[in-house]
Amino acid sequence: MIINHPLLGPRDAQEFTYLGDAALIDRPDGMAFPDATAAQDAFHDYLYLRDNPAGEHRELWFHEQGDRSWLVVTRNTVTHEITKVEFARDVARSRGRSK
Amino acid sequence: MTQENRIKGGQIDRTKTLRFTFDGHPYTGHPGDTLASALLANGVRLMGRSFKYHRPRGPLSAGSEEPNAIVELRTGARQEPNTRATVAELFDGLEANSQNRFPSLKFDLMGINDRLSPFFAAGFYYKTFMWPAAFWEKIYEPIIRRAAGLGSLTREEDPDQYDKGFLHCDILIIGAGPAGLMATLTAARAGARVILADEDFRMGGRLNAETLTVGNHSGADWAEDTVRTLAQMPNVRLMPRTTVLGAMDHGIYSAVERVSDHLPIPAPGKPRQILWRIYSAHAILAAGATERPIAFENNDRPGILLAGSLRTYANRYAVAVGDRVAVFTNNDDGLRTATDLQAKGIDIAAVIDTRQEGDLLPGIRHLKGAQVIDTKGKLGLKSITIRHANGRSETLSVNALGVSGGWNPNLNIASHHRGRPVWNDAIHAFTPPTGGPKNLTAAGAAAGALSTHAALQTGAAQANAALEALGLKTHTPDLPKAEDAPLNLTPFWYVGEGKGRAWIDQQNDVTVKDVKLAKQENFTSVEHLKRYTTLGMATDQGKTGNILGLAIMAELTGRSIPQTGTTIYRPPYTPVAMGALAGRSRGPEFKPTRLTPSHKWAAEQGAIFVEVGMWLRAQWFPKAGETTWRQSVDREVLQTRASVGICDVTTLGKIDIQGCDAGAFLDRVYANTFSTLPIGKVRYGLMLREDGIVMDDGTTARMGENEWVMTTTTANAVPVFRHLEYVRQCLYPDMDVQLISTTEAWAQFSVAGPNARKLLQKVVDQDISDAAFPYMACGNITVCGGLRARLFRISFSGELAYEIAVPTRYGDALIREMMKAGEEFGAVAYGTESLGVMRVEKGHVAGNELNGQTTALNMGLGKMVSKKKDSIGMVLSQREGLNADDGLRLVGVKPVDPSKPLTAGSHFLDIGAAPVAANDGGWLTSVVYSPHLKSSIALGYLKNGTARIGQKMRAVNLLAKTEVEVEIVSPHFFDPEGDRLRG
Amino acid sequence: MADHRLHPITPLGHDTPHSVTIGPVTITEVTDTALASLAARLGEGKAVADIADTAGIPLPGSGHAAQGATFAAFWLSPDMWMVEAPFATHEDIVAILKPHFGETASLTEQTDAWARFDVTAPDLPAMFERLCNFDLRAHGPGAATRTVIEHLGCYVVIRAPGHLSVLGPRSSAASLFHALETAARSAF
């Protein structure tokens, strides 16, 4: 596959490491829960409950043999067509993440 | 033997003669010959025995679709089985042998299988060898394999080199026939970067095999001129002898280039083959078409070929397969064989044409509505029996028969993304699917455009379409004039008459009867038909037989051919050598080797090295007189603890972490707190995965306000770095943190033992007294008169110890300097074995304990997980399931009898408990021999282990068949109070 | 630099840089260049650009390398570069750069993290198409990229027509050198 890197252009997927669902970006704040049970429930859902669509999927890829950017790649899991590639950092910020 | 069947013309170089042998007999041929054409020129038609029935077979084709003429090439280490003689380029000195025969090709004992054929019908193996099941592996399978196998492998290492490479182009054109050449010419003239790949050693495709004209030239001359023009263009890469194997995603194609297969041995340093990964924006499939046979009784005799291949042998290779020839056809293309051969002076006995309609060929006995119903000739065709339209039968004496059932477009690559081929009623064949690989189009015969004119026209048109998509200027070239005759095919798949066998898949010996049997047993889906009969499962992947088989199934089931469909086409297009897939990654070059900065010095000391991931590390340093590794390791450990030892620890991952938020960042990635660490101090850190399991551990040093150096375990350097980048970019995008690996930049040595400070003080320029440089201190220093260096007072061995780092280029000099400085203390170098002994004696965890299943609590480090801050894995590490009181705990283990050795991987069992899973108490993770305790000792995870310290258990290893009574002890065997490391 | 008493060795373990000529290709160990990574602190991109400009350090865009009078640099990742300077005068390169950038950038010594081999040949693409997927025919001097050569993450920097540098992990210098030699023999 070819991933169209936002800065470097088309790069072979062999240069990347795959992580999985980009929903991993939405990590809960471990200190933001009233008790341990609520925290564990939230982290359980965050870590283990993932969609596995046959179709468009937003996923995290790491350009390990490139510029070491984490990217959010929108890929059709059936056709492998890639319709969007974004810096994960930008996506994280757009989802309200900061420090 | 002379080349008795050689005729005039052809594209062979008669000025040179090549000598070769087949089954030990010497023959001659010419450059331009294949092994098959040269053998046929010498009158050799019998080239192999079939897979199952050991039927005598000769070539069916003149190309890569060949099912029958499968031979072994070369001898010794270069012996290569299962090679198609029809594409093996002849070279001087070639030694070829037939295979799957004993004792000889002409008299094959296994030919008995042919007589027993009623027992070997489709499904025979499934039905016969079912019982008893235990017989399969030991008895049935070896017998079947011996009887059925194809060629034999040399047991020697392949002496040749195989490369892998990467090519880039705007347009990849697959196939250099008229369509491919015209497409290349059109695209190249528009300035596109073009790669033209063709499996043949001579470009031109069918033009080389026909007498047709293109413009004012013969087709072959036009092809040669065009190739010469293209070769002059810098934006064109011509790749003959290159088979495109498959279509990957996003315009990537794999291809194998046979660089040296046509040479006796590759030139020095040159590869035998290259596996190319071709990146293309567009691709044009111009792979031509493959002729398909018609099935009739005994249609597999040597001398019966596809009609177009008979023509290829005559026109291209100047070989008459026989001197009296018949043609059996259901279309006009078959008639060309008769006219071409007759023009070469070959006697045409008859054209047997299944069609009732159409014009008769002038000057040839052209029999309409006739069929071939049987043949004779055990080792080669002698006669055919035909049934005339009026029902009369006749036997014709012929020694060659050309068969044409039509042409199947070579659409394989267009179907590699599972697109289903589309049936074309005009040519009665499947054409490429509409939903094939993106930006791949087909031209010429591969697209179903079978005439020369149509090939030229579609080649130019598809090139222009690709140019337009690329934004390049298109232009429609003046197409040279060429024939545009229709195929005029009336479908005819098999002759129904006769009780004998009519072959479909000649390589796997699948007959019309087998298809009927499959239908009878309700294996009517093509995928079932394939598995049940093995149709298309041989090395030729059914290039000639598949469509025939499924057309017969369609007829038997009353479905249409498109309803019946094809099986899935998968790469590779033709067989590819394992060596090409491996490339240069074999033997010691399977992966790169990483050498430590002290490697050269260690090798001079005679160190024994061990692979640790890609690293080669010194395992121990034998001294004169030491005969076992234990002697060396015991000495290294005892001397380090008694005085001082030095070990290269460069392999540990080092990550430079800087930025205003580096401390806060470390608090997130480590379970314990780092932001409070003072400048100039080091702290042990435990890193968790989000699920609460330990990911890695190591020390991190604060070198400045915003400057930190993290160490990781050797194995996890890369995953930890990836994880840190993930946390930085995906989770906390506004933290000011910058990361870079410095593992390779610094040569780092551990100096451990009571005399470590004394030794180092001779090297370090600054004061490193306990007051100036206390336990867990770190800092930038200089060594040996001013070289910048780093010093960390940390200890893995439990001794007074330091790690000292200098820029890597000075690592070799530093260890020499330190060993010299240590002479007065009897300093030793120690390797990974001693490192392991000392860390187990101290109860430090390492890879065996950090196995991806264990928590901080399991390791006895549960208190390190701070709940006052959020960190990766903090929340889920508190899960009930990971916090049971009777969960696994790290313990130490000693044999009750110190002379008994322990075995890593042994399981804890209570005294008297049966060795079953229900009684499993945990396992021994690391076992070493402690020269201090004069006993084997171990670390292990034991259920409720902390509470069981002092108890006796058994360590049982059912695989190693060992059982030792053990005492559970604290994991801190040596200096549990840590007085020594603070000394 | 202080004249300490330790003698360096090259990545291939020699006292002086090793060089080999295979047909039209020359492969040479290069040890006379100091390296440091330069990463702008968060929000300091402009400040870093200004300081670099004043200090004569070129900061090329993604996929590129640039050469200044003393300093050269190639792009590593967003807001991050590898700075090159003569080793003889800039061995402690971080100490030299730090006063310029202060707290606007993170600087890390990288000199010995890498083994550098300079390769010269009239037709470098013919050799490198057997090593990596970097399309040398489509790139000229000033192009720089990270790529994989025989499983090793390397930087390729095109210095001039027919001249490029390969920077690979120093511990694997021998493996990388062997790969370069093999490809040179294979291609020419």
pLDDT digits (tens, 9 = 90+) for B492-539: 999 998 888 999 999 999 999 999 999 999 999 999 999 999 999 999
Mutate to test the interface with A, among C146, C147, C151, C155 (most CBs of A within 10 A): C146
Task: Output the pLDDT for position B125.
Answer: 62
Q: How far apart are the first and last CA of chain B?
A: 92
Domain range C19-31+113-187, its CATH number among 3.30.1360.120, 3.40.30.10, 3.30.70.870, 3.30.70.60: 3.30.1360.120
Tell me: pLDDT of B680 over 70: yes
C77: nearest CA partner in chain A: A67
Is B731 in contact with A80 (Cβ distance < 8 A)?
no
Choose among A9, A12, A65: nearest Cβ to C146.
A65
pLDDT, residue B53, reads 85
Q: What's the whole-number mean pLDDT along residues B405-430?
A: 96
Query: Do B162-289+409-470 and B598-651+746-852 show the same overall fold?
Result: no
Q: For residues C134 and C152, what is the distance between their CA atoms, to the nearest angstrom?
A: 14
Domain boundaries, chain B: 1-156, 162-289+409-470, 293-405, 501-572, 598-651+746-852, 652-742+856-883, 885-983
Contacts of B782 in chain C (CB under 8 A): 2, 4
| Chain B residue at shortest CA distance from A68 | B725
| Contact flag B729-A88 (C-beta cutoff 8 Å) | yes
pLDDT tops 90 at residue B101: no
Residues of chain A contacting C148 with CB distance shorter than 8 Å: 14-15, 65
B874 contacts in chain A (CB < 8 Å): 30
From chain C, pick out residues whose CB is under 8 angstroms from the CB of B706. Answer: 103, 106
Contact B746 C112 (CB under 8 A): yes
Cα distance between residue B530 and residue B524, in whole Å: 10
Residue extents of the structural domains in chain C = 19-31+113-187, 33-111
Indicate yes or no: CB of C108 within 8 angstroms of CB of B658. yes
Judge whether residue B334 has pLDDT over 90.
yes
Instruction: Compute CA distances B919 → B893, B896, B907, B951, B952, whole Å.
Output: 18, 21, 10, 16, 15
**Chain A CB within 8 Å of residue C108 CB:** no
Instruction: State residue B810 phi and psi, 5-degree precision.
Output: -100, 0
What top-level class would CATH report for the domain B1-156? alpha beta
In this complex, the residue of C5, C152, C182 whose CB is nearest that of residue B592 is C152
Distance from CA of C86 to the nearest CA of B (A): 16
The answer to whether residue C77 neighbours chain A at the CB level (below 8 Å) is yes
Boundaries of every domain in chain A = 2-94
Does position B1 have pLDDT exceeding 60, yes or no? no
Q: Does the structural domain B162-289+409-470 have CATH classification 3.20.20.140?
A: no
Superfamily of chain region B293-405:
FAD/NAD(P)-binding domain (3.50.50.60)
Look at residue A71 in the predicted model and tell me its pLDDT: 98
User: Which residues from chain A sit within 8 angstroms of residue C146, using beta carbons?
Assistant: 15, 65-67
Cβ–Cβ below 8 Å for B735 and A80? no
Tell me what pLDDT residue B858 has: 96
pLDDT of residue B698: 96
* The one-letter amino acid at B418: R
- Give, in words, the CATH class of B652-742+856-883: alpha beta
Q: Could you tell me which CATH class the domain B885-983 is placed in?
A: mainly beta
Q: Which of A65, A67, A68 has the CB atom closest to C148's CB atom?
A: A65
Q: Which phi and psi (to 5°) does residue B560 adopt?
A: -80, 165
Contact across the interface for B808 and C113, Cβ inside 8 Å: yes
Nearest residue, CB atoms, C62 vs list A8, A12, A65? A8
Q: How far is B735 from chain A (nearest CA, A)?
A: 5
Residues in B closer than 8 angstroms to C42, CB to CB, are 659-661, 734-736
Supply the pLDDT for residue B106.
81
- Pseudo-torsion of CA B578, B579, B584, B590, nearest 10°? 50
pLDDT-based confidence at residue B128 (cuts at 50, 70, 90):
low
Largest CA distance in chain C: 50
Q: Name every chain B residue with its beta carbon within 8 A of the beta carbon of A41.
A: none
Nearest CA to B54 out of B114, B107, B123, B116 is that of B114
DSSP per-residue codes, B227-247:
HHHHHT-TTEEEETTEEEEEE
Residue B367: pLDDT band by 50, 70, 90 thresholds?
very high
Q: Which of B71-85, B111-125, B235-249, C58-72 has the lowest mean pLDDT?
A: B111-125
Residue with tokens 């390169």: C93
Q: Does C78 contact chain A (CB < 8 Å)?
A: yes
* CA distance readout (Å), B433 to B408, B442, B927: 14, 10, 61
CATH number of C33-111: 3.30.70.1520
Answer whether C186 sits within 8 Å of B787, measured CB to CB. Answer: no
Give CA–CA dist B750/B955, Å, rounded.
34
Summarize the confidence of residues B434-446 as an average pLDDT.
95
Note the pLDDT of residue B593: 97
The pLDDT tens digits of the residues spanning B197-248 come to 999 999 999 999 999 999 999 999 999 999 999 999 999 999 999 999 999 9
pLDDT at B133: 65
Asked if pLDDT for residue B34 goes beyond 80, the answer is: yes
- Under an 8 A CB cutoff, do B250 and A69 touch? no
> Which pLDDT belongs to residue B152?
81
Grade residue C38 by pLDDT with cuts at 50, 70 and 90. very high
How high is the pLDDT of residue B689? Answer: 98
pLDDT of amino acid B132: 66
The β-bridge relationship of strands B273-285 and C19-22 is unpaired
A2 in Cβ contact with B250 (< 8 Å): yes
CB contact under 8 A, B163 and C31: no
pLDDT at B149: 55
Please name the member of C78, C133, C153 whose beta carbon is closest to the beta carbon of A69. C78
* Segment B644-656, tens digit of pLDDT: 999 999 999 999 9
Tell me the average pLDDT across B788-805: 96
Q: Annotate B838-895 with DSSP letters as a single string.
A: HHHHHT---TTT-SSS--TTTTT-GGGS-SSS--TTHHHHT-GGG--TTSEEEEEEEE
CA-based diameter of chain B, in Å? 116
Chains that touch C (3 or more CB pairs under 8 A): A, B
DSSP collapsed to 3 states, B657-686: EECCCHHHHHHHHECCCCCCCCCCEEEEEE
* Per-residue pLDDT, B143: 64
Q: Where are the alpha helices (DSSP H) in C79-163?
A: 87-90, 93-101, 124-128
Closest CA of chain C from B186, distance in Å? 21
Instruction: Name chain B contacts of A10, Cβ cutoff 8 Å.
Output: 279
Instruction: Give contacts of B593 with chain C, Cβ < 8 Å.
Output: 172, 174-175
* Nearest-by-CA chain A residue for B867: A31
**Residue of C5, C41, C178 lying closest to B736 (CB–CB):** C41
pLDDT at C2 over 70: no
Mean pLDDT of C125-150: 97
| CATH, domain A2-94, list 3.30.2270.10, 1.10.10.10, 3.40.50.261, 3.40.50.1100 | 3.30.2270.10
Domain at B501-572, CATH homologous superfamily: BFD-like [2Fe-2S]-binding domain (1.10.10.1100)
Most distant CA pair in chain A, distance:
47
Say which of B252, B869, B878 has its CB closest to residue A36: B878
B-chain residue closest to A62, CA distance:
B722
Burial of B762 (0-12, 13-18, 19+ CB in 10 A): middle
Tell me the nearest-neighbour CA distance from A22 into chain C, angstroms. Answer: 21
State the CB neighbour count (10 A cutoff) for residue B899. Answer: 8
Q: Of the candidates A30, A47, A68, which has its C-beta nearest B870's C-beta?
A: A30
Selecting from A24, A43, A81 the residue whose C-beta is nearest the C-beta of B730 gives A24
Chains that contact A by 3+ CB pairs under 8 Å? B, C
Are B179 and B286 in contact by the 8 Å Cβ rule? The answer is yes
pLDDT at B767 over 90: yes
- What pLDDT score was predicted for residue B692? 97
Question: Quick check: B168 and C135 CB within 8 A?
Answer: yes
Of A9, A12, A66, Cβ closest to residue C146: A66
What tens digit of pLDDT does each residue of B335-344 get?
999 999 999 9
Q: For C75, which residue in chain A has the nearest alpha carbon?
A: A67
Asked if the Cβ–Cβ distance from B250 to A92 is below 8 Å, we say: no
Residues in chain A, pLDDT under 70: none
Check CB contact under 8 Å for B725 and A70.
yes
Q: What is the mean pLDDT of chain B?
A: 95
How far apart (Å, rounded) are the C-alpha atoms in residues B313 and B317? 5
Query: Are the Cβ atoms of B730 and A60 closer than 8 angstroms?
Result: yes
Q: What is the CATH number of domain B598-651+746-852?
A: 3.30.1360.120
Contacts of C151 in chain A (CB under 8 A): none
Question: A81, B729: Cβ pair inside 8 Å?
Answer: no
pLDDT of residue A47: 97
pLDDT at B142: 65
- Here the ipTM equals 0.99
A66 and C76 within 8 Å at the Cβ level: the answer is no
Mutation to test the B interface, candidates A4, A45, A46, A62, most B Cβ within 10 Å: A62
Residue of C nearest to B705 (CA): C103
Give tens-digit pLDDT for A15-30: 999 999 999 999 999 9
CB contact under 8 A, C185 and B599: no
Is the pLDDT at B141 greater than 70, yes or no? no
In which band, very low, low, confident or very high, does the pLDDT at C3 lie, cut at 50, 70 and 90?
confident
Asked if pLDDT for residue B355 goes beyond 70, the answer is yes
From chain C, pick out residues whose CB is under 8 angstroms from the CB of B271: 186
| pTM for the predicted model, two decimal places | 0.95
